[in-house]
Structure 1
């Protein structure tokens, strides 16, 4: 057998052992050997390598009815961490996740956004202080993902379009110069889709409804992308391009202007206060919500006609949506349908808070796992 083939087999064994442990809580050496059809010496040597590299730990002992209890092995989930940051107009939230995509830390900074060197330096310094305060070593951080309201270059380094925050032209180097790890930009709607997909893997159109509306498409477990950064930006499909509401993009009638929370709420009204009044059966609020659901159903149905895959409502609005609202929307969609529908294609997301920050941290983790 050639040296290259032997090295390939050795790497495969190493990788297979790690991924088997990743998908199990804990296993003994014999369990690993039996499931992967490997010899105990092979398992032992590879476990030792993984332990030395900080990827695997000894994790107590497994229960046994006879004889000595076997040492248990698990991945070192907290050995490496992904950082995600969601940037909005008046604040930024940091999410730190471990290799199991479990949230270890969520923290919000009150920090008005500006496309300036001062902003990038301040946010970077606050992130470093947060990491230090929680006894996290910089070398534990795989990288930082920044989810932002803008279209991103394919390499994740430049914001190509960003009218909401006036962030066009920002580069990851604006932040990375102050940080000891790499930085990548992500479209905020892509982050929401990634967070939801990790929670419940499915292909779909993800409608992220917050202050603004964002959409993203996942096909074959991958975000649909293009070199322009515009794939999935269905929020700018128009319901009424001539007389519709004016969108921040400059056009009229975009579904952003009918389905975002901005389109639902009055000035100085919060999402929480709106739904509190709705639950108290305030008639003005009820009528406003009925109109909103009409527009939302029309938009959902239009997207369904483009791509016949599940549609997942996600983002900030999710925590206020009930089974009754889901049933209501499904009934509206049935009334709109011109074709027979055997099953519902509408779902609600499950990541209720800071899904942009959570989703922004996940790609670095997935990349690390996939390359072990």
Structure 2
């Protein structure tokens, strides 16, 4: 056997053992050997290497009915961390995730957005202070993902179109110059989809409903992207292009204008207040919500006709959307359907808080894991 083949096998064993431990809470040497079909000396040698690199730790002992209890091994999920940032007009939220996508820390800063160097520097200074205050070492951080309302180049370096925040042309390097780790931009809707997928792996259309609407498609576990960066912008499909409400994109009657949180709420109203009034059976609020569900079901059905995949309602709305509301939507969809349908293609997401920040942090974690 050639030296290169031997090295490849050794690396494969090393990687296989780590990822087996990643998929399990903890295992003994014998468990690993039996599962992977490796000898105990091979397992021991690789466990020593993984321990020396602080990727795994000894984690107590496993229960045994006979004989000595075996030493348990587990990954150290905090050996490498990732930062996710969600940027909005008046504030930004940053979060730290470990290798198991667990949120270790969260911080929101009231920092008004501006497409200039002063904003980038201020945000980075607050990010570094946040990390120091929480006791994280900068050497632990593998990267920073920034989720923002805009279309992003496929390499994550440039905002190609950012009408909502007027951020077209902004570069990830605007932030990277102030940080000791790489910075990557992500479309906020893609971040929400990634966060939902990490929590429950499901290919589909992810309809992120917050102040604005964003859509993303995940196929075979990957966000679908096009060279132009416009893939998944289904929120600008129109329900009434002739005399519908004017969208921020300049057209009339986009799904955005009928199904976003902004379209549901009145001035100075928030979702918490709206749903509190809904639960009190306020007649005007109930009527407004019924109309909203009518439009939302029309939008969902149109999307389902384009791409026959599950549709996941995600974003801020999921924090308030009950199972009875989902049932009401499903009843509307059943009436709209002209083809035989499988039940259950509509699902409710489960990441109810800071999905953009969480989803922005996950790609750096995935890259770390793929390189082990």
TM-score tier by shorter-chain length is: over 0.9
Q: Report deviation, 1:342.
A: 3.0
> Is 1:133 aligned with 2:136?
no
How large is the Cα RMSD of the aligned pairs? 0.8
Aligned to 1:104: 104
Q: What are the superposed Cα offsets for residues 132-183 of structure 1, whole Å, 9 maximum, x if unpaired? A: 1111001101100000000000100000000100111111111011101000
Measure the CA separation in 2 of the matches of 1:206 and 1:147: 16
Measure the CA separation in 2 of the matches of 1:61 and 1:133: 34
Q: What SS does the aligned partner of 2:184 have?
A: strand
For structure 1, which segment, 120-129 or 34-43, has the greater mean C-alpha deviation from structure 2 after superposition?
A: 34-43
Q: What SS does the aligned partner of 2:43 have?
A: helix
TM-score normalised to structure 1 length: 0.99
Aligned to 2:189: 189
Q: How does 1:140-289 map to 2 (within 5 A)?
A: 140-289=140-289
Aligned to 2:32: 32
Regions of 4+ moved over 3 Å: none
Q: What are the superposed Cα offsets for residues 165-222 of structure 1, whole Å, 9 maximum, x if unpaired? A: 0111111111011101000000000000000001111110000000000000001111
Q: Report deviation, 1:13.
A: 0.3
Aligned to 2:2: 2
> How many residues in Structure 1 have an aligned counterpart in Structure 2?
372
Measure the CA separation in 2 of the matches of 1:18 and 1:273: 48
Q: What are the superposed Cα offsets for residues 266-313 of structure 1, whole Å, 9 maximum, x if unpaired? A: 111111111111111111111111111110000000001101110000
Measure the CA separation in 2 of the matches of 1:165 and 1:32: 51
Measure the CA separation in 1 of the matches of 2:80 and 2:164: 34
Measure the CA separation in 1 of the matches of 2:207 and 2:342: 22
Measure the CA separation in 2 of the matches of 1:301 and 1:64: 54
Consecutive unaligned residues of structure 1, counting only runs of 5 or more, are none
Q: What SS does the aligned partner of 1:186 have?
A: strand
Q: What SS does the aligned partner of 1:351 have?
A: coil
Consecutive unaligned residues of structure 2, counting only runs of 5 or more, are none
Q: What SS does the aligned partner of 1:321 have?
A: coil
Aligned to 2:23: 23
Aligned to 2:342: 342
Measure the CA separation in 2 of the matches of 1:4 and 1:171: 41
